[in-house]
Amino acid sequence: MFKKILIANRGEIACRVILTARKMGIATVAVYSEADRDARHVDLADEAVLIGPAPSRESYLRADRIIQACKDTGAEAVHPGYGFLSENEDFARRVEEEGIAFIGPKHYSIAAMGDKIASKKLALEARVNTIPGWNAAIDTPEHAVKIAADIGYPVMIKASAGGGGKGLRVARDDKEAFEGFTSCRNEARNSFGDDRVFIEKYVEEPRHIEIQVLGDAHGHVVYLHERECSLQRRHQKVIEEAPSPFISDATRKAMGEQAVALAKAVKYQSAGTVEFVVGKDQSFYFLEMNTRLQVEHPVTESITGIDLVEQMIRVAAGEPLPFQQADIPRRGWAIECRINAEDPFRGFLPSTGRLVRYLPPPQTMEAAMPVPVHGGVRVDTGVYEGGEIPMYYDSMIAKLIVHGRDRFEAIARMREALNGFVIRGVSSNIPFQAALLAHPKFVAGDFNTGFIAEHYGQGFRAEDVPHEDPDFLVALAAAAYRRYLARAAGISGQLAGHGVVIGNDFVVVVKGARGEHTHVPVRIEAEGVTTVIVNARAYAIVNDWHFGGIRAQGHCNGHPFTAQVERHGLWLRVEHNGLRIDAQVMSARAAELLRVMPFKAPVDMSKFLLSPMPGLLVEITVQPGQVVQTGERLAVIEAMKMENILTATRDGTVKELLAAKGESLAVDQPILSFA
């Protein structure tokens, strides 16, 4: 077994690998960029090596610096995590040539599966179901149209080297096939330096289901059941679960056996994932093989009890797998939510900055540790309170994983865990996750890869959050306010006859999205238990919320709940199950006076171009005095590996530039003004 390994990655996956290595008694070396000098993975590792500036192309993608770090520290093996160099065949080969073990598949397996056209041919030879299509590179759009018509519409046009949603189009007629082929080829050439494009049948109502495989150096390969990954936004997974609520045992077995056959065909060693698209009739077809550890691997660990990182390390050290196919259990149900630094109410724009508060829900499961019999909650993260979410890398804050006896228990446990996940300083997608988990079709298991586009195609708004009892949030605000009143009444030295007198009747004023107010009369009775009566319904609330705190846990009418209550001046912000309200509790007289207060309209910022997110201003394409037309490019902001182009929303003349190229922008910071 290795005595020391280097993790060629950052963030939560680097921390995840370190936990398993520590359990196995293996020393660890972290690598970091200048932006990650104070990152959690640097602190967790036994040693850390600086490998370059913040941009990943100058640090985490520099194979030469990573290999040199291995030599300098005496690391015997490299774990690549996922992303960066994890599926780079040249890196895997160079590592092995230097006498360092690569904790992953052999370079020839990565090469075989890395090219979509070549991998499909291999799958056909291994008798794996493949989607009908044309598996050779296509030269002209006219040829693409003929092939598409022969296969039968709809078809999917894909770049061979594509990924992350780039180089991908669905065509439903000749015109779309012609245009889609041209667009895909251009995107592929610009993004990957490879303009080969192929065409295959588009599966209606498709589900994205993947099979986890493990292989060793002795020719032994097993599958560890499946993961349901159909909830995707722009081809990026949002929620994953294991097992799938859709496929039958017979389909599961057939998919698993075909995944093993493919892995054996490329002499696969280590953990890998064979991805399938599954039709509504449970017909399934090979998509691709990911020759690395997946982001969503914890759900497989939860239902099998197998530490996938440990098995990767043991296989790389030459050990055989310690179990046969029949030995792999499938216990309960696991769900993972990716908690990302993005604002779902602003079109999921990246949100970078300092984590002013970071308080994950209480954990009863931990990576690299045995799964408790009754399941629990696990958080995999690479951040900490007070740390920065840098603009240079992906937007993931944490992965929230739950395990329950069945799917309904897992969903309920995830909803409570999301309620208790406190993140301040940056926006997160938690409200969106909560809305998905509460959607009746998700609860019923009735969804496919088009679910989010179908139900949230126009974006995500606060009113899209379903809540079974919005009055509960009003009651919770009133109960918190009553606690403030009780504290005020208990202050010593109050003038006799003029002390704080607590009544029972109040009005909860709820602020609307456009500044309007809704007045909700309530009655508060606090004899032992605080009971709030809202719209003739009583809410008996007992909770552990304290002044200055955020998370509130307790019981309402005997039922447990977790919520968040936070004071902002005179307003109380209450969050529960994805719904958020800003409320002010006052006397009926004060509420009456508030009704006649003049409304202060927000400042008119229509003559300014504002930054929609924190990020780096990489380009301003206009000058003062320049006349611009609607849709014309004005500026480019880079954040979290994405370029965001800002365009003019109307015709006008540029008056003044208020920010400079290379400047780090805050959200809503003016970039330029119009005359």
Q: Known catalytic residues?
A: 288
A 10 A CB-CB count for 470 gives 16
Please, what sign has the CA dihedral across residues 84, 87, 88, 90? positive
Q: Is 273 helix (H, G, I), strand (E, B) or coil?
A: strand
**Six token digits for residue 141:** 């759009």
Structure token digits, residue 649: 């929303």
Quote the CA–CA distance of 390 and 396 in Å, as a whole number: 11
Tell me which residue has tokens 């924190």.
Answer: 614
CA distances from 388 to 61, 424, 425, 477, 639 (A): 21, 12, 10, 31, 14
Per 3-state DSSP, the chain is made up of helix, strand and coil in percentages (nearest 5) of: 30, 35, 40
Nearest Cα residue to 307 out of 380, 208, 252: 380
* Dist CA 586 CA 571 (whole Å): 10
Q: SS3 for 280-295, per residue?
A: CCCCEEEEEEECCCCC
- Could you give the CA distance from residue 533 to residue 615 in angstroms, rounded to a whole number? 46
Asked if residues 358 and 422 have their Cβ atoms less than 8 Å apart, the reply is: yes
Q: How far is CA 370 from CA 223, 271, 303, 373, in A?
A: 20, 19, 11, 9
Tokens of 295: 């982001």
DSSP letter for 130, please. Answer: B
Which residues are CB-neighbours of 574 under 8 A, at least 6 positions away? 473, 476, 477, 480, 563, 564, 565, 580, 581, 583
Cα–Cα distance for residue pair 304/385, rounded to 1 Å: 32
CA dihedral 30→32→37→42, nearest 10 degrees, is: -20
Answer whether 434's CB lies under 8 Å from 420's CB: no
Assess contact for 536 and 546: CB atoms under 8 A: no
CA distance 675 to 652: 7
User: CA distances (Å), 554 to each of 62, 363, 529, in order?
Assistant: 50, 17, 12
Compute CA distances 427 → 341, 384, 431, 456, 663, whole Å. Answer: 6, 15, 10, 19, 21
Beta strands in 319-416 (DSSP E): 333-340, 342-343, 349-350, 353-354, 357-359, 376-381, 388-389, 396-404
- Return the residue matching tokens 């070549």: 118
Cβ atoms of 617 and 649 closer than 8 Å: no
Bridge partner residues of 29 (DSSP): 6, 47
Distance CA 94, CA 66 (A): 11
Give the helix/strand (H/E) hosting 617.
strand 615-620
Nearest to 4 by CA among 34, 23, 25, 20: 25
Residue 255 half-sphere exposure toward CB, CA atoms < 13 A: 30
- How many C-beta neighbours within 10 Å does residue 659 have? 18
What is the spatial distance between Cα 620 and Cα 659, in angstroms, rounded to a whole number? 9
Calpha distance 475→498 (Å, rounded): 28
Strands 166-171, 376-381: pairing is unpaired
